[in-house]
Every structure is written in C-alpha cells, then in structure tokens.
C-alpha cells in the first residue's frame, strides 16, 4: 500500500467529517477492497482450523489505510463505523452466496467463503441477523450501529461510546435492549422444518 | 414498530430490569396500565435479555477456517528427483510438508511443497524469472548455518510447484507445547533465548524471518530449539511479487504487502512499511509474552485496543503480564515497543536479556560464581547446603550453622579445605548428622580438581563419608551422587555407578549437579545422545550455572560438531567472559580445527582464570606441543615434574603434554600411572579426543579395558 493511499483515506475521512457526503462514497470502495485483501491474506497464511477474526481484519484495514498517527479520534471513530458496516456486508454476502452456490468465481467468495466455509448454522444466523438488523434500523438506527460496531467491528462498549459520541451508559443500555430484541427475533425466526429435506415416509 | 411505542418499551425495559419477582410484575402491570400487548412485549424482551440467555451475539464474530482435506492431492508414494516422499506431516496455507527420504545422500528430510501460485500465473517468461529469483533466495537461506535454524538443503519444482527440502526435525511445535500446558518460566525464557540466538545469526546475514510465531518454533525431545521457515515468508508472495532481501548485505524490501501473522506482526509490518531485523524482535516479544502467560496480547483484544496499543505503548502486554516479575515484564515491553528504535537493538541483546532473566529466576537457588574452578567446586559444595532433619536440639542447630558456613561463594583450594574442617566439626558435634557427612563427601571430590593430593586418597575419603551419610539416611541424594562418582572414576564399576547416579536423580530430580555428573558418565561410555538429554536437563534445572552449557559444548566437541560446540562456549563466555572452563574447552575446539594460535590464546587465558589447575595446564601444554612450540611444552613438562617431586602433580597432566609432543610411549607410561593414582583428567580417556592418536595402540586399548570402558572409537 502506497503511503499516498493512507494520506488519501485520511483526507477523505476529514472531508466526510466536515460534512462532505461524497467523501464517504470514495472511502467505501477503498475500505471494502482492503478488507477483502486482508481476508485473503489471513486465509493464505493461517493454518487449517484456525480462527478467522473479521474484527482483526477491520483492525488491519485501519492500520493500513489510515495515517493513524495523524488522525484525530473522530476520524478513527468514523473509520470503524464504516469498516464495521462493510464487514457486515461482506460476511452476510458471503453467507448468502454460500447458501446459493457451492464455490468458485466471484470476488467475495475468493476473499471469504472459499477459504472459510461458514458452517450452515452460522450462515443462517448471519443472514437472519442481517434481516433483523435491517428491521431494527427502521425504528432505532443507533442500536443497529451499536450491534454492528460490537459484533462486526469488535469494539468495546467504551470505544463504541467514543465512536457514537454518547455516554457509555447509553451504549450499555442500547446494547442490552438490542441484544434482547435480536435474541428474540432470531429465536422466533422460522427455521426450515427438518422434514422438508428428509424423504417423505410412505 | 413505531418509534414512539419503541421509546415506551425501552423506558419500561430499563426500569424493570433491576427489579425481580413480584416487584417487577407489580411495576409492569401498573405502568402498562392495561396495555396487554405492551406488557407482553416488555416481558418477552426481559426474558430474552437475561444474561444467562447467551447467544451468538455475545462475542465478536469469528469463523473457523476449514480447508477441505481433499483440496491438495497427496504426494505420498511419489519420487521427486532423489526424494522418496513419505507421509504428510503438516499442512497449511504455506503448503504441505512431507517426510521424505533422500536416496542420494541416504538421509531423511522434510519436504515443503509451496503453492504453485507462488510463482504467479502469468506467461512462462515471467514464471521462469520468478523461479530463478526463488532459487536465488533459497541459496541465501541455504547459507544460513546455525544449530537453532532448520537447514535448507535445496529447492526444486514438482508439478510446477516449488518445493524446499530441509532438515527433518523430530519434536513438537512451541504452539503444541503452549496448548498442552503452561511452560515453566525458565523453560519459556530459554526457548525464547534460543530463538533469539537463531535470529541474531540470520540477521547478521541480512535475513529477516518475518513470521516468528510459536508454530514456527520446534522443540526436539532433547529440549533443543529449531526455528522453522526462515525467510519463507520472504519467498512467499501475496500479490505475486517475490520480496527480495540480502543483496550484498544490505536489506531491501521490494513489494509492500504485509506478510506474516497479524497477532505477531510489528506495527511497521502491519502498516506495510519497510521492515528490518527489528520486526523479528517485536514478533519474538509477542511470542515471549505468549509462552510466559499463555496469552497473546494482540489476539482477542478489541479493534481500537490493538490500534491504541500499537500506536503508543504495549498496553495489552501490560495487562496480561501482571503476574510476572517486573524485570521480566520490562524485557517483554522493551521488545514490544512501537518504535523500532526503542526495542532491543539486536537479537543478541534480546537473547542476553532473556538468559539473564532465566538465571535471575533461578536466583533463589544458591548463587554460583564466576571463576571456573570456583564454579566447579561450588558445584560440588553448594549441593551440600544442608537442611537438617532434626534441628530440634541445640547441638544440631550448632552443627547446622557450621555446615551452612561451609557453603561459600568463591572457593579456592584453601576454602575447600576449610569447608572440610567445618563439616568435620559439625560431625564431631553430632556424629549422626547425615547431611554433614554427605557434604564432606562432596568436598573431598572437589579437592581432586586441585591435583595436589592423589585422586585415590581424596576419592576414598569421599566414598567413606558418602557411605556413612547413607547409613544414617538413605535418602541423601548428594551422597548417592558422590558414591556414583567414585564408582565411575576410581573403581570403574560403571553399572554400579549408573544405578547410583539414577538413585541420586530419582531422589532429587531437579538437582542440577547429579544431572551434570551423570552427563559426564554417559559421555565416558560413548552414550552421547543420552548425554545431550541430561545436559539439557541440567541446564533447565540451573539456568544460571554455566557448567552444563560448556558440557553441552563438550558433547558436540566429542562428536566432531565443532561449530555447534563453539556456539555453546560463546554463549557461556558472553554470559561470563571470565569463565575459564569455557575458554579451556573453546581452546580445545580451536585446536581440533587446527587453529593453533587461537587455541593457545584461549588455553593460556583459561589457566590464568582457573589458577593453574592441572586439567587446564595440561591442555595448554598439549596445545603447545601440537602447535610445534616444543621448547615451551618441554619447559612446562619439566616444571610440572619438579612439582610432582616436591609433593604431588597428577600424572594425567604429564601424559597429555607428552602426547602433544608426540612421545606416545612416555604418554602411555604416565597414563598408566594416572590410572593407579585415580585421576585421569577432565573425563575418562575414552571421551577425550586428545587420545585419538593412540586410540588403537595396544597399550591404550588395554588401559581402556582395565577401566571397563568401550574400546571402539566413538
């Protein structure tokens, strides 16, 4: 990664913070690409059976993309907000794709699903979580973001408070309720009945 | 759900959460005021929000990576160039590893087959260019020659995938060791120190490992450490670019993609900045932290936490190293400095710090001294530190006090004699004091080294004292050890000696002197593999004690592995530049290599450091003769003869010098006399390469037979 790119993303983050919405549009593809590359690297280097931690990928992307010695806290916060959201998108896309095709072709599958076959249950959970988060976003976008930052970005409650510029207490309450709500939604989610895949008895 | 209603739900949820039982029920029914749906909603959320209802949301998302085992066709059973490929012994993203047999050189090797994509997928010209560069890099790696680095033999191609043939290491990885249970601190420090030594050697040649982690460190069953995959990270390309290194010694990084394992990568490596040797120091710091605490400071920490830590100070390491001694933490934190300038400047510096730590960790044990003879004697005496079993009576405490005062830090001949007097005094006060008898036995053995009394006399005294000690208390480990010494060196009853050594070790398995003495015994019998194991055990039991380090070197010297021997001696001398035994044995190695001037310099130094003890003097005289400085050797010979006439000087020393002068018959005369006297040198002649020149001489063979030693050349 050329240092120029780091400076670029840093500058874009600043612009975005200063209200330039189009800056975000430029950041997204760069971060997205970096996350995929980081995933590929981690896949290539790690041993069979190792854990893949998307949160580590977010980390790595941040370190590589942002001139982190020269950005203020707010820029970091914004970066993590973006990266966590993208990570969610990547993982969920991978899960949805895996559910459809077995393997091969496509940038997303190369980056994640090919090397890291998501177990069926994880796949379902991820897709269901994504659906639920979309619903949650309609009436409480901040809680949606708290979940994203925590689950896909790996941030602590303190860090989330910094990112969202609210008190830790608020984040804790948000998390508690969002978690309860999601647990309920996921528990109530209709699962494919076992009989559907089993041959009918005669 | 509409936001207003959600707001009400939220308010009620948080208000009701701290309540329980009827209080909660009452509160909810009152505040929902007949809105049954609202009540159901809040109740169900409270139910699902219980901390006990753990779900997959509670930890950040992770996936276990699963590679289908069938994805790579096996090479087992195939023949590749001169290699017959055996079972697959490892697999990973970096390729599969097979056990293989090299028909040409009749040796077993490890064959690592790298992904074909390493060479890129473009046209043949570019592939050929990449392959050429790959081979060039592999040559650099093959030039790495260090006992703690797995040797690369050659590289080649199989089905257009590059492979590396390398030394096969039996043992397990440090990762497996960490996972199977906590390592003792000294063990953790010593393993890390050995890795640091390996890094230092590679760094000198301009090679950076770039992927130091527990998976790449193998521990052989004898405790010996081997670093794997040196520079393989460098060969590997993520984007297809082969990263280049070591051009005319200068370090240069082409390509910018970060290669390595994130949790062990240095900040500069993660950010894709150019890296140098200091990135390995950072990674080794992470490894050290992990082996000491079983926690990797950068795994499982949150995103911002990692960034902050890497940005400023090694904070995550601070939190996981809380239980470690402060100096040990300091070493970790120094390696983990974000700024490469603030880390250890070299891997050697890191290694020394680790070795110190290992030693300090042992400092609750009796301290060990610098001078060689002192070290030797203290070996013998410290063991006699006594823990009276019946300290109730004042007589016993007085005896104990006297005995304790026989334990000293810088022993000379006079001090050994003084300690003998103290033990005797303790025994006079309490004749049934078993530990004092044992100490007396050890002290008499120590006296042998100064050479002014025939060995047979002191060793007979030692035996008597040890037997008395065991009669009073059969569990005196150090008395068994003394008995074994006498059985081996004086009576040449080696089976008995072995039983006694093993008895001593069984009674006190962590007592380093028994392990060390037994190592010498094994060497004399030509059992070098076992000797290596016991000298490692002695080192682990007493990291501060340099004798086992030199003994380790002596085993290598005896088996002709001179470069390995030198590493050990240099390690000892780096720790203590005035350690005479290391200087003496290093001199022997130089001599064996034909580097006479260097040898004589070291040997002369060793006699100064050790106060002219016979075994050092003898070596110097021998070296002078071999180096052609005959008149000096002759002069030494006549000086020693004069000494012998006045009182006593051990015959083995005279034998050695005659041997150096090429006077075989005279040498054998003296050696036969040495047998009668009961002292024949540092080790028995069977394990002394000096005697190689007379090894098949009928008189020498008879001598070995008389001592019940193996007569074949070791």
Interface test with B, best of A7, A46, A61 (most B CBs within 10 A): A46
- Comparing A79-88, A111-120, B296-305, B689-698, the range with the smallest average pLDDT is A111-120
Beta bridge partners of A52: B63
Q: What is the pLDDT of residues A43-73, one digit of tens each?
A: 554 433 344 566 666 766 766 676 655 556 5
Cβ of B48 within 8 Å of Cβ of A180? The answer is yes
Length of chain A: 202
Write the burial class of residue A200 (CB in 10 Å: 0-12 exposed, 13-18 middle, 19+ buried).
Answer: exposed
How much is the pLDDT for A188? 63
Which residues have C-beta within 8 Å of that of residue B15, sequence separation ≥ 6? B27, B31
User: How many C-beta atoms surround the C-beta of residue B642 within 10 A?
Assistant: 10
Asked if the C-beta of A49 comes within 8 angstroms of chain B's C-beta atoms, the answer is: yes
Cβ of B13 within 8 Å of Cβ of A177? The answer is yes
- Top-confidence range, A87-96, B30-39, B92-101: B30-39
Q: Is residue B512 pLDDT above 60, yes or no?
A: yes
Q: Quick one: CA dihedral B501, B507, B509, B510, positive or negative?
A: negative
Q: Which residue has the higher pLDDT, B688 or B376?
A: B688
pLDDT category, B274, cuts 50, 70, 90?
A: confident
Q: What is the pLDDT of residues B637-648, one digit of tens each?
A: 999 999 998 888
Residues of B in contact with A40 (CB under 8 A): 238
Cβ of B49 within 8 Å of Cβ of A176? The answer is yes
Q: Is residue A74 pLDDT above 80, yes or no?
A: no
B224–chain A nearest CA distance, Å: 24
Angle between helix axes B372-382 and B512-524 (nearest 10 degrees) is 110
Cβ of A44 within 8 Å of Cβ of B238? The answer is yes
Closest partner residue to A59 (CB to CB) among B45, B260, B306 is: B306
B540–chain A nearest CA distance, Å: 31
B476, B484, B487 from B496: Cα distances, Å: 17, 7, 7
How much is the pLDDT for A48? 37
Write the burial class of residue B363 (CB in 10 Å: 0-12 exposed, 13-18 middle, 19+ buried).
Answer: exposed
Beta bridge partners of B155: B164
- pTM for this model (two decimals): 0.44
Q: Is residue B20 pLDDT above 80, yes or no?
A: yes
- Top-confidence range, A88-97, B125-134, B259-268, B559-568: B559-568
Tokens representing B449 are 């080294």
- Comparing A15-24, A75-84, A114-123, the range with the smallest average pLDDT is A114-123
User: How many C-beta atoms surround the C-beta of residue B166 within 10 A?
Assistant: 24
- Top-confidence range, B144-148, B198-202, B301-305: B198-202
Q: What is the pLDDT of residues B429-449, one digit of tens each?
A: 888 888 889 989 988 888 888
Q: What is d(CA B463, CA B309) in angstroms, rounded to the nearest whole number?
A: 61
Q: Quick one: CA dihedral A34, A35, A38, A39, positive or negative?
A: negative
Among residues B213, B196, B207, the alpha carbon closest in space to that of B243 is found at: B207
User: How many C-beta atoms surround the C-beta of residue A29 within 10 A?
Assistant: 10
Q: Is residue B632 pLDDT above 90, yes or no?
A: yes
User: How many C-beta atoms surround the C-beta of residue B638 within 10 A?
Assistant: 9
Q: What is the pLDDT of residues B229-268, one digit of tens each?
A: 776 655 543 333 333 222 222 222 222 223 445 677 787 7
Q: What is d(CA B156, CA A1) in angstroms, rounded to the nearest whole number?
A: 31
Closest partner residue to A80 (CB to CB) among B45, B56, B304 is: B304
Asked if the C-beta of A153 comes within 8 angstroms of chain B's C-beta atoms, the answer is: yes
How much is the pLDDT for B393? 46
Q: Is residue B363 pLDDT above 70, yes or no?
A: no
Q: What is d(CA B196, CA B202) in angstroms, rounded to the nearest whole number?
A: 10
Residues of A in contact with B94 (CB under 8 A): 45
Q: What is d(CA A111, CA A32) in angstroms, rounded to the nearest whole number?
A: 11
Cβ of B271 within 8 Å of Cβ of A147? The answer is no
Cβ of A50 within 8 Å of Cβ of B53? The answer is no
**Mean pLDDT of the region B477-498:** 93
Percent of chain B with pLDDT over 70: 77
Q: Quick one: which H or E segment has residue B432? A: none
- Comparing B122-136, B282-296, B493-507, B538-552, the range with the smallest average pLDDT is B122-136
Cβ of A54 within 8 Å of Cβ of B62? The answer is yes
Residues of B in contact with A52 (CB under 8 A): 62-65
Q: Is residue B24 pLDDT above 70, yes or no?
A: yes
Which residues have C-beta within 8 Å of that of residue B696, sequence separation ≥ 6? B713
Asked if the C-beta of A46 comes within 8 angstroms of chain B's C-beta atoms, the answer is: yes
Largest separation between any pair of C-alpha atoms in chain B: 118
Which residue in chain B is spatially nearest to A77 when comparing CA positions?
B304
Per DSSP, the three-state class of B425 is helix
How much is the pLDDT for B66? 44
Q: What are the phi and psi torsion angles at A13 (to 5°)?
A: -60, -40
Cβ of A147 within 8 Å of Cβ of B57? The answer is yes
The ipTM, to two decimals, is 0.73
- Contact residues, A window 10-39, toward B, CB-based 8 Å cutoff: none
Q: Which residue has the higher pLDDT, A1 or B579?
A: B579
Size of the A and B interface in Cβ pairs below 8 Å? 167
């Amino acid at each position: 990664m050329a240092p120029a790119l780091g400076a670029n993303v840093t500058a874009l983050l600043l612009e975005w913070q200063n209200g330039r919405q189009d800056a975000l549009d430029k950041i997204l593809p760069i971060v997205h690409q970096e996350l995929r590359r980081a995933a590929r690297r981690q896949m290539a280097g790690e041993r069979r059976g190792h854990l893949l931690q998307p949160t580590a990928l977010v980390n790595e992307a941040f370190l590589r993309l942002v001139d982190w010695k020269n950005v203020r806290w707010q820029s970091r916060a914004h970066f993590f907000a973006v990266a966590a959201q993208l990570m969610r998108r990547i993982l969920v896309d991978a899960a949805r794709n895996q559910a459809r095709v077995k393997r091969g072709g496509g940038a997303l599958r190369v980056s994640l699903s090919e090397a890291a076959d998501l177990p069926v249950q994880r796949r379902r959970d991820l897709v269901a979580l994504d659906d639920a988060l979309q619903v949650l976003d309609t009436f409480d976008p901040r809680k949606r973001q708290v979940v994203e930052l925590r689950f896909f970005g790996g941030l602590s409650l303190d860090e989330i408070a910094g990112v969202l510029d609210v008190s830790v207490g608020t984040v804790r309450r948000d998390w508690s309720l969002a978690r309860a709500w999601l647990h309920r939604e996921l528990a109530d989610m209709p699962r494919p009945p076992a009989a559907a895949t089993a041959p009918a008895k005669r | 759900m509409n936001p207003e209603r959600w707001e009400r739900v939220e308010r009620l949820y948080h208000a009701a959460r701290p309540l329980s039982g009827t209080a909660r029920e009452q509160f909810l029914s009152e505040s929902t005021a007949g809105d049954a749906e609202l009540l159901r909603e809040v109740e169900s959320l409270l139910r699902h929000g219980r901390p006990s209802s753990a779900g997959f949301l509670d930890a950040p998302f992770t996936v276990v990576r699963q590679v289908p085992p069938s994805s790579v066709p096996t090479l087992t059973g195939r023949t590749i160039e001169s290699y017959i490929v055996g079972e697959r012994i490892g697999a990973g993203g970096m390729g599969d590893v097979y056990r293989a047999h090299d028909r040409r050189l009749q040796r077993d090797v490890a064959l690592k087959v790298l992904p074909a994509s390493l060479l890129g997928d473009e046209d043949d010209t570019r592939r050929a260019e990449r392959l050429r560069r790959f081979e060039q890099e592999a040559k650099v790696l093959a030039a790495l020659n260090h006992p703690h680095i797995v040797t690369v033999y050659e590289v080649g191609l199989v089905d257009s995938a590059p492979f590396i043939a390398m030394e096969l290491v039996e043992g397990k990885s440090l990762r497996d060791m960490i996972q199977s249970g906590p390592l003792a601190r000294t063990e953790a420090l010593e393993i890390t120190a050995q890795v640091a030594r390996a890094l230092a050697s590679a760094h000198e040649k301009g090679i950076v490992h770039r992927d130091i982690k527990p998976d790449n460190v193998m521990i052989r069953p004898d405790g010996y450490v081997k670093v794997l995959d040196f520079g393989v990270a460098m060969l590997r390309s993520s984007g297809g670019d082969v990263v280049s290194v070591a051009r005319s010694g200068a370090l240069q990084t082409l390509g910018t993609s970060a290669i390595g394992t994130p949790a062990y990568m240095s900040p500069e490596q993660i950010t894709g900045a150019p890296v140098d040797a200091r990135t390995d120091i950072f990674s080794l710091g992470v490894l050290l932290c992990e082996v000491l605490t079983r926690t990797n400071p950068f795994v499982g920490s949150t995103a911002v936490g990692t960034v902050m830590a890497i940005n400023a100070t090694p904070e995550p390491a601070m939190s996981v190293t809380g239980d470690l001694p402060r100096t040990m933490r300091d070493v970790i934190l120094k390696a983990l400095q974000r700024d490469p300038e603030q880390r250890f400047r070299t891997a050697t510096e890191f290694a020394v710090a680790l070795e110190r730590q290992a030693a300090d960790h042992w400092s609750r044990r009796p301290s060990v001294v610098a001078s060689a003879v002192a070290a030797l004697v203290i070996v013998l005496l410290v063991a006699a530190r006594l823990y009276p079993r019946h300290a109730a009576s004042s007589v016993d405490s007085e005896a104990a006090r006297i005995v304790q005062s026989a334990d000293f830090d810088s022993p000379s001949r006079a001090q050994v004699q003084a300690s003998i007097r103290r033990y005797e005094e303790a025994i006079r006060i309490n004749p049934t004091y078993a530990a004092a008898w044992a100490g007396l036995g050890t002290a008499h053995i120590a006296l042998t080294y100064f050479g002014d009394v025939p060995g047979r006399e002191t060793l007979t005294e030692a035996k008597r004292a040890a037997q008395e000690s065991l009669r009073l208390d059969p569990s005196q480990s150090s008395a068994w050890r003394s008995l074994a010494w006498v059985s081996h060196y004086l009576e040449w009853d080696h089976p008995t000696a072995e039983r006694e050594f093993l008895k001593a070790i069984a009674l006190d398995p962590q007592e380093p002197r028994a392990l060390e003495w037994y190592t010498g015994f094994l060497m004399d019998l030509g059992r070098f593999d076992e000797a290596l194991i016991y000298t490692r055990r002695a080192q682990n039991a007493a990291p501060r004690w340099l004798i086992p380090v030199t003994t380790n070197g002596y085993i290598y010297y005896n088996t002709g592995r001179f470069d390995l021997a030198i590493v050990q001696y240099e390690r000892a001398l780096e720790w203590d530049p005035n350690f005479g035994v290391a200087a003496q044995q290093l001199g022997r190695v130089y001599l064996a290599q034909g580097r006479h001037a260097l040898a004589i310099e070291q040997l002369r130094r060793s006699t100064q450091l050790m106060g002219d003890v016979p075994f050092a003097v003898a070596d110097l005289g021998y070296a002078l003769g071999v180096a052609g400085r005959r008149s000096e050797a002759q002069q030494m010979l006549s000086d020693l003869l004069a000494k012998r006439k006045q009182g006593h000087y051990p015959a083995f020393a005279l034998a050695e010098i005659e041997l150096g002068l090429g006077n075989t018959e005279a040498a054998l005369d003296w050696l036969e006399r040495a047998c009668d006297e009961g002292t024949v040198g540092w080790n028995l002649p069977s394990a002394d390469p000096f005697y190689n020149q007379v090894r098949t001489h009928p008189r020498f063979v008879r001598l070995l037979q008389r001592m019940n030693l193996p007569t074949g050349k070791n």
